[in-house]
Structure 1
Amino acid sequence: MTPADLSRCVVRAVRRAVEDGELPAEAVVPERVVVERTRPGGVGDYATPVAFQIAKSVGRGPGEVADVLARRLGEVPGIERADVTGAGFLNFTLVAQSTTTLVRDIRARGLRYGYADGAVETEPFCPEAVTGLRQRAVHEATVRIVRSQGEGHGGPWPGVAPVAKRDGDVVARYGADAVRWAVLTVPARETPEFPDVLLVQGEASEFFRVRYAHARSRALLRNAGQIGFGAEAGDVTGAQGLLRALADYPLVLEAAAHHRAPERLARHLVEVADALLDFQHRVLPKGDEKPSAAHRARLALAEAAGTVLAGGLALLGMDAPERL
């Protein structure tokens, strides 16, 4: 059970509860359910407020609807527990996914990892005239993200605060990709800022760390090839943060599309990058070590992380450098 599978399981549980008469026939069966990582202090791994949406359509309390769904979902293979908290939030604890399965999935899907089944091409289209540097960047990134989730149109559009006149020609000062990063990492209604750290080639800059982490993943592959071994998916220990960030990526894309919020994707790329940069030092053999199955599995995990970073940057409209 992957986090992305969980969303589809919830939809099926709602549909079958209606078919079996546990929920009234007039209950709204959503086409897609947004499932997100449980917040600190919450119960389980993931949560969704879908019961509130359904309860409105049938005149029942959300807690009652959530109880119906929790009983069904608690029996689904891959879901360890389904709990109801608060007024009707569904919370899930999943059976741990193996590193091998996750990495193989990412490597098989490539840059389309996290895309919905049947997703259309993500190149942006403009259903309406969009002017202004910030407006166009938000518009194009949002279109790419929603199309990755199988939607054909990006609206409704959030209000977009433009670049402040006082900032002048930011592209000339910082470069197009750095400016795009700055305008996409804050909610659309907030005025973006352009700190001098955008010019820093170091860990203080999130923009640099994300692109550098991708470059490091590719450097690891080149270095491994030079000493005669390649990537092969397998179990990896001590990389829980990176594994969780990669597993969550499809849910982040889905939530970013649902909320029309590309900043959610940008924030997650920072999480993936930081986890990869912490992990990278364990990938290659050290000293007189011979390449082993463990090294090949770590290399495959680093390669998968680089693929996720490249795919996310492409959705935001930025390049992923091979060398930096």
Structure 2
Amino acid sequence: MTPEQLSQAVRDVLAAATDEGDITLPGGVPDEITIERPRNREHGDYATNVAMQLAKRAGTNPRALAELLAGRLREVAGIDRVDVAGPGFLNITVSAAAQGELARSIVAAGATYGRGDVLTGTRINVEFISANPTGPLHLGHVRWAAVGDAIARVLEAAGAEVTREFYINDRGVQMDHFGASIMARAHGQAVPEQGYHGEYITDLAQAILAARPDVITLPDDEQLVVFREEGYKLQLAEQQRQLEEFRTHFDVWFSERTLHDSGQVEHGLDVLRKHGHLFEADGALWMRTTDYGDDKDRVLIKQDGSYTYFASDTAYYVDKRERGFDICLYLLGADHHGYVGRLKAMAACAGDDPDYNIEIPIGQLVKIMREGQELRLSKRAGSMLTLGEVVDAAGVDALRYSLCRYPADSPLTLDVAQITKQTSDNPVFYVQYAHARLSSILRNADELGVDRGELRPELLEHERESLLLAALGEFPRVVATAAEYREPHRIARYLEETASTFHKFYDVCRVLPMGDEEPNDVHRARLWLVEATRVVVANGLAMLGVAAPERM
């Protein structure tokens, strides 16, 4: 019996008591009843304070309401005992058979177990990398590449329709500096003072010359355009390749240029004008974001008639909303903390609810250490450590899991040796090893000719079996909470606790027969439990974009 099933049982009991006149409940039965695991197992399998929450509304005292509910709950199939504690807590003990049925449900659900519908019907745009196509993705992008993708996966697991979006900063003077840098290398000249350095610029020049040997015969202004645009295509393709190898897929690669080329910037400003928050002053066009808590109003069009970056940001937000997204998530780096107020104010100026339609989580910096030294410099990119080099140093699984394991809003230091060592004190190894061990048990069962057969759930009555089943039953709630708070680290920490619970179960509960022992129904029931645990661990790792190995 899962916490969700118990919650529904309490709702049903409340509804029946109301219908039969035992209680009056103005406002009706709550949509959700909180069911928790008590810290002390002597207090039962689950507990709820629903009587304390509803007593005042029901016109009675918590203890009396708890006693009434306890009497009715004792009649529910699968509930062994209900005790009233303290001022009105309900402590519930479920039967081994009801608890054991969870194993069957999990195995039947397979890859869908843990998924819910709390966000069904909600369209969410998650923009979690915004970068110039002028160089490799660097360490600053690594955290959001992992965490942003995990957030998207968790939101999908909660039922949302999610679009992952990469914003390409492909407009502005930096693109000309990029083209001039490649052009200089193609001619064997020094890179201009404001240009881009690193071996990758030389590589791009050579690739363009190989594809377009005639380019150096063109006039300089035409050469610049060719080197800029061809370099742009090559570098963007390299960013896409590296992200795919990091298991970070984007549904949309949105070009900043298209906002301006398509007239979307002007359209975005027209939308704002309709809401009455634009004004002209000092020869410039402004948005009155101070109406919604921003520290100052923001310029959209400067005195010289050029658009500001904030004008692009505004048009981009309007474009997302007009594409039908209910919620726009902007996952920004630590150096963008000042953007939160202005972006929320901008959404309000566009007529939206800044507390719902737009979210701006801020991710803090990451340091990567190796042999006591911080990794900073890149062999290919000069002053910055690239995503590819970090992945080469740590590996995709170790890096993704370690980045997702901590709240994104806290600074993080990772040691390559620590996150890649194959010992139980390395969390990613510990969880992956649990999955490999579970898979090994199932393989061994196949080799011995022991199948799960028909589950007899009442045989899963050992304390360690009960604890493991309870842990597995928590997974859907952990996923829903991770989605609600945009915190995939909750999944990682849950997996570690569940792996520990499994190892303790396996230490004392023999799953397979020994020697000439004939397999019995206890063995088979425990195989159901092992397969259910394997499903949960695999599903949790998938939500983090981490592999679930069958052998280690």
Q: 1:77 aligns to what?
A: 77
Q: CA 1:237/1:107 → structure 2, altered by over 3 Å: closer, same or farther?
A: closer
Q: 8 Å contact 1:213–1:273 — kept in the other structure?
A: yes
CA distance in 2, matches of 1:8, 1:41: 22
Aligned letter for 1:91? Answer: N
Q: 1:312 aligns to what?
A: 540
CA distance in 2, matches of 1:165, 1:186: 11
Q: CA 1:20/1:300 → structure 2, altered by over 3 Å: closer, same or farther?
A: closer
Q: 1:199 aligns to what?
A: 420
TM-score, scaled to structure 2: 0.49
TM-superposed CA distance for 1:93, in Å, is 1.8
Q: 1:185 aligns to what?
A: 405
CA distance in 2, matches of 1:137, 1:57: 43
Q: 2:435 aligns to what?
A: 214
TM-superposed CA distance for 1:45, in Å, is 1.7
CA distance in 1, matches of 2:146, 2:538: 22
Q: Deviations over 1:63-104 (max 9, x none)?
A: 554444333223323223333334443321222236863433
TM-superposed CA distance for 1:141, in Å, is 4.5
1:273 aligns with 2:494: no
1:162 aligns with 2:390: no
Q: 2:516 aligns with which of 266, 283, 289?
A: 289
The gaps in structure 2 that reach 5 residues or longer are: 130-143, 161-325, 330-354, 369-375, 377-386
Aligned letter for 1:208? Answer: F
1:174 aligns with 2:409: no
**What does residue range 66-105 of structure 1 map to in structure 2 within 5 Å?**
66-97=66-97, 101-105=101-105
1:40 aligns with 2:40: yes
1:126 aligns with 2:124: yes
Q: 8 Å contact 2:25–2:57 — kept in the other structure?
A: no
TM-superposed CA distance for 1:312, in Å, is 2.2
Task: Give the structure, 1 or 2, with the largest relative contact order (CA under 8 Å, sep 6 or more).
Answer: 1
The sequence identity of aligned pairs, in percent, is 33
1:136 aligns with 2:148: yes
Aligned letter for 2:441? Answer: L
Q: 1:29 aligns to what?
A: 29
TM-superposed CA distance for 1:9, in Å, is 0.4
After TM superposition, the structure 1 stretch with the greater mean CA deviation from structure 2, 249-258 or 306-315, is: 249-258
Q: 2:449 aligns to what?
A: 228
TM-superposed CA distance for 1:199, in Å, is 0.9
Q: 8 Å contact 1:174–1:199 — kept in the other structure?
A: yes
Aligned letter for 1:272? Answer: T
Q: 8 Å contact 1:145–1:262 — kept in the other structure?
A: no
TM-score, scaled to structure 1: 0.77
TM-superposed CA distance for 1:147, in Å, is 2.8
Q: 2:474 aligns to what?
A: 251
Q: CA 1:128/1:141 → structure 2, altered by over 3 Å: closer, same or farther?
A: closer
Q: 2:527 aligns to what?
A: 299
Aligned letter for 1:251? Answer: E
After TM superposition, the structure 1 stretch with the greater mean CA deviation from structure 2, 202-211 or 47-56, is: 47-56
Q: Deviations over 1:171-197 (max 9, x none)?
A: 554333333323443455544453543
Aligned letter for 1:308? Answer: V
CA distance in 1, matches of 2:50, 2:420: 43
CA distance in 2, matches of 1:57, 1:158: 35
The gaps in structure 1 that reach 5 residues or longer are: none
Aligned letter for 1:16? Answer: A
Q: 2:200 aligns to what?
A: none
Instruction: Indicate the structure (1 or 2) with the bigger Cα radius of gyration.
Output: 2
Q: CA 1:320/1:85 → structure 2, altered by over 3 Å: closer, same or farther?
A: same
TM-superposed CA distance for 1:57, in Å, is 5.3
CA distance in 2, matches of 1:306, 1:63: 41
